[in-house]
Chain A
Amino acid sequence: MPKVTINGKEVEVEPGTTIMLAAQKLGINIPHYCWHPDLSIAGNCRMCLVHVEKMPKLVTACSTPVADGMVVTTDSPQVKEGVRGVLELMLVNHPIDCPVCDQAGECGLQDYYMTYGLHDSHVSLEEKVRKRKVIDLGPMVVLDTERCILCSRCIRFQEEVSGARELQFFGRGDHVEIGTFQDRPLTDPYSGNVVDICPVGALTSKDFRFKMRVWFLKSNDSICPGCSTGCNLRVDHRNGIIYRLIPRRNVDVNASWLCDEGRMSFKSLGRGKRLVKTMVRQNGKGLVEVNRKDAYLEVVRNLENISNQRGPNSIAAIASAMATNETLYLFKRFMQEVVGSSLIDFRTDDSYKLVREREDKVLRRLDKHPNSQGALDLGLVSEELGGLAGAIEAAKAGKIRALVMLFIPQMVREESAQVYQAISELLTLVEFSAVLTTHEIEAFAGADVLLPVAAWSEEDGTYTNYDRRVQLLNRAILPPGDARAGWEVFATLARISGKDLGFEHAGDVFARLAAETPGYNGLTHAAVGKLGVKLQQKAIGGS
Chain B
Amino acid sequence: MFAKVKRERRVINVTEIQEARGEPGALETLKGMGVTLKHLINRARGDDPTIYYPEERRPYSGRFRGAHILTTREDGSPKCVACYLCATACPADCIYIEAAESPDPMIEKYPAVFNIDLLRCVYCGYCVDACPEEAIIMSREYDIAAYTREETVYNKEKLMRRPQIAQSGLGYRPIKIDEYRKG
Count, A-B residue pairs, CB within 8 A: 33
> Is the pair A213, B88 in contact by a Cβ cutoff of 8 Å?
yes
- CB neighbours (8 Å) of A216 from chain B are 84, 88
A210-B82, A210-B99 known; A100 vs B108 contact (CB < 8 Å): yes
**How distant is the Cα of A310 from the Cα of B99 in the complex, in angstroms?**
61
Question: How would residues 95 to 113 of chain A score, 1 for a CB under 8 Å from any chain B CB and 0 otherwise?
Answer: 0011110001000000000
> Is the pair A210, B109 in contact by a Cβ cutoff of 8 Å?
yes
> Is the pair A215, B88 in contact by a Cβ cutoff of 8 Å?
yes
Q: Find B84's partner among A97, A134, A209, A213 (CB 8 Å cutoff).
A: A213
Question: How would residues 84 to 120 of chain B score, 1 for a CB under 8 Å from any chain A CB and 0 otherwise?
Answer: 1100100000000001110001011100000000000
**How distant is the Cα of A97 from the Cα of B132 in the complex, in angstroms?**
10
- CB neighbours (8 Å) of B88 from chain A are 213, 215-216
**How distant is the Cα of A300 from the Cα of B109 in the complex, in angstroms?**
55
**How distant is the Cα of A133 from the Cα of B133 in the complex, in angstroms?**
20
> Is the pair A133, B84 in contact by a Cβ cutoff of 8 Å?
no
> Is the pair A210, B81 in contact by a Cβ cutoff of 8 Å?
no
- CB neighbours (8 Å) of B121 from chain A are none
**How distant is the Cα of A134 from the Cα of B81 in the complex, in angstroms?**
15
**Beta-carbon nearest neighbor of B80 in chain A:** A99
> Is the pair A210, B105 in contact by a Cβ cutoff of 8 Å?
no
A100-B108, A134-B108, A215-B88 known; A210 vs B133 contact (CB < 8 Å): no
Q: Find B101's partner among A97, A104, A209, A215 (CB 8 Å cutoff).
A: A209
A99-B132, A99-B133, A100-B108 known; A210 vs B83 contact (CB < 8 Å): no
**How distant is the Cα of A215 from the Cα of B99 in the complex, in angstroms?**
15
Q: Smallest Cβ distance from A24 to chain B, in angstroms?
A: 32
> Is the pair B100, A210 in contact by a Cβ cutoff of 8 Å?
yes
> Is the pair A99, B100 in contact by a Cβ cutoff of 8 Å?
no
> Is the pair A100, B83 in contact by a Cβ cutoff of 8 Å?
yes
- CB neighbours (8 Å) of A98 from chain B are 83, 132
- CB neighbours (8 Å) of A209 from chain B are 101
- CB neighbours (8 Å) of B100 from chain A are 210
- Looking at B105, B108, B109, B133, the one whose CB has the most chain A CB atoms below 10 A away is B108
**How distant is the Cα of A209 from the Cα of B101 in the complex, in angstroms?**
9
Q: Find B85's partner among A99, A133, A134 (CB 8 Å cutoff).
A: A99
Q: Smallest Cβ distance from B70 to chain A, in angstroms?
A: 15
Interface size class of B (residues with CB under 8 A): 10 to 19
Q: Smallest Cβ distance from A114 to chain B, in angstroms?
A: 16
**Beta-carbon nearest neighbor of A100 in chain B:** B109
**How distant is the Cα of A210 from the Cα of B83 in the complex, in angstroms?**
9
| Interface of chain A, main secondary structure | loop
Residues 50 to 95 of chain B near chain A (Cβ within 8 Å): 81-85, 88
- CB neighbours (8 Å) of B85 from chain A are 99
- Looking at A97, A100, A134, the one whose CB has the most chain B CB atoms below 10 A away is A100
Q: Smallest Cβ distance from B113 to chain A, in angstroms?
A: 12
> Is the pair B132, A133 in contact by a Cβ cutoff of 8 Å?
no
**Beta-carbon nearest neighbor of B111 in chain A:** A210
**Beta-carbon nearest neighbor of A96 in chain B:** B132
> Is the pair B83, A134 in contact by a Cβ cutoff of 8 Å?
no
> Is the pair B132, A210 in contact by a Cβ cutoff of 8 Å?
no
- Looking at A134, A213, A215, the one whose CB has the most chain B CB atoms below 10 A away is A213
**How distant is the Cα of A471 from the Cα of B116 in the complex, in angstroms?**
44
**How distant is the Cα of A210 from the Cα of B109 in the complex, in angstroms?**
8
**How distant is the Cα of A98 from the Cα of B109 in the complex, in angstroms?**
11
- CB neighbours (8 Å) of B83 from chain A are 98-100, 104, 213
**Beta-carbon nearest neighbor of B102 in chain A:** A100
- CB neighbours (8 Å) of B81 from chain A are 99-100
**Beta-carbon nearest neighbor of A213 in chain B:** B84
Q: Smallest Cβ distance from B86 to chain A, in angstroms?
A: 11
- CB neighbours (8 Å) of A211 from chain B are 99
Residues 191 to 209 of chain A near chain B (Cβ within 8 Å): 209
**How distant is the Cα of A134 from the Cα of B108 in the complex, in angstroms?**
8
> Is the pair B105, A133 in contact by a Cβ cutoff of 8 Å?
yes
**Beta-carbon nearest neighbor of B107 in chain A:** A100
Q: Find B108's partner among A104, A133, A213 (CB 8 Å cutoff).
A: A133
Q: Smallest Cβ distance from B179 to chain A, in angstroms?
A: 18
- CB neighbours (8 Å) of B101 from chain A are 209-210
Residues 76 to 98 of chain A near chain B (Cβ within 8 Å): 97-98
Q: Smallest Cβ distance from B135 to chain A, in angstroms?
A: 10
- CB neighbours (8 Å) of A215 from chain B are 88
Question: How would residues 32 to 52 of chain B score, 1 for a CB under 8 Å from any chain A CB and 0 otherwise?
Answer: 000000000000000000000
Q: Find A134's partner among B82, B99, B105, B132 (CB 8 Å cutoff).
A: B105
**How distant is the Cα of A209 from the Cα of B108 in the complex, in angstroms?**
11
Q: Smallest Cβ distance from B148 to chain A, in angstroms?
A: 25
**How distant is the Cα of A358 from the Cα of B84 in the complex, in angstroms?**
43
Question: How would residues 211 to 238 of chain A score, 1 for a CB under 8 Å from any chain B CB and 0 otherwise?
Answer: 1010110000000000000000000000
**How distant is the Cα of A213 from the Cα of B89 in the complex, in angstroms?**
13
**How distant is the Cα of A213 from the Cα of B83 in the complex, in angstroms?**
8
Q: Smallest Cβ distance from B12 to chain A, in angstroms?
A: 60
Q: Smallest Cβ distance from B63 to chain A, in angstroms?
A: 25
**Beta-carbon nearest neighbor of B101 in chain A:** A210
- CB neighbours (8 Å) of B107 from chain A are 100
- Looking at A97, A99, A211, the one whose CB has the most chain B CB atoms below 10 A away is A99
**How distant is the Cα of A213 from the Cα of B130 in the complex, in angstroms?**
15
**Beta-carbon nearest neighbor of A102 in chain B:** B109
- CB neighbours (8 Å) of B109 from chain A are 99-100, 210
Q: Given A100-B83, A100-B109, list of 6 further CB < 8 A pairs?
A: A98-B83, A104-B83, A133-B105, A211-B99, A213-B83, A213-B84
Q: Which 5 A-B pairs have the closest CB atoms?
A: A99-B83, A210-B99, A100-B109, A213-B84, A100-B108
Could you list 30 A-B pairs, sorted by A, with CB under 8 Å? A98-B83, A98-B132, A99-B81, A99-B83, A99-B85, A99-B109, A99-B132, A99-B133, A100-B81, A100-B82, A100-B83, A100-B107, A100-B108, A100-B109, A104-B83, A133-B108, A134-B105, A134-B108, A209-B101, A210-B82, A210-B99, A210-B100, A210-B101, A210-B109, A211-B99, A213-B83, A213-B84, A213-B88, A216-B84, A216-B88
Chain B contacts to A: CB under 8 angstroms: 81-85, 88, 99-101, 105, 107-109, 132-133
